[in-house]
Amino acid sequence: MTAGIVMRAAHFPGRAPIDAYGNGGFRFADMSHRGSLLCLPSGIYGWEPGSPAALSADDFARVLDEAAAIEILLVGMGSELRRLPQPLRDALRAERISADSMSTGAAVRTYNVLLAEDRAVAAALIAVD
């Protein structure tokens, strides 16, 4: 019996700076990924938020699962700056995570600096064109 191609959720099992962003994706660790990303202490994951314009705690379930290892969450909102919805901010605050929303470019740059400083940082990055 031959097995076909097995599709798995995108996951890089480590922490790495983001080398480039744009064209609907990101480059990191000598790889490229099309779509949005979650950069967490346990690794980098492909991420598909339900509605980037109306993020919810469900979109951040993996972040909340790793809350003990995260102090700062940077949320790259794409090219437009939007405030995180209050219920999401409340859910993150309940887990003692300080969340800052900004453009994806600013989030990538800030993430790289804090990662280099070995800070307890995570990032949720919405891909931009």
The model's pTM = 0.89
Q: Which long-range contacts (CB under 8 A, 24 or more apart) does 32-36 make?
A: 34/127, 35/10, 35/127, 36/124, 36/125, 36/126, 36/127
Q: Give CA–CA dist 50/4, Å, rounded.
A: 29
Q: What pLDDT digit, counting tens, does each position of 47-94 carry?
A: 999 777 789 999 999 999 999 999 999 999 998 888 999 999 999 999
Measured in residues, the chain has a length of 129
CA 92 vs. chain centroid, Å, equals: 14
On the question of pLDDT at 7 being above 50, the answer is no
Is residue 5 packed enough to be buried (19+ CB in 10 Å), middle (13-18) or exposed (0-12)?
exposed
Per-residue pLDDT at 128: 94
Q: What is the mean pLDDT of the chain?
A: 91
Going by C-beta distance under 8 Å and a sequence separation of 6 or more, which residues neighbour residue 85? 54, 55, 56
Q: Give the residue extent of every domain in the chain.
A: 11-125
Instruction: Give the chain's end-to-end CA distance (angstroms, integer).
Output: 42
**Nearest residue to 120 (alpha-carbon basis) of 12, 39, 20:** 39
Domain 11-125 has CATH 3.30.56.10: no
Q: What pLDDT digit, counting tens, does each position of 83-122 carry?
A: 999 999 999 999 999 999 999 999 999 999 999 999 999 9
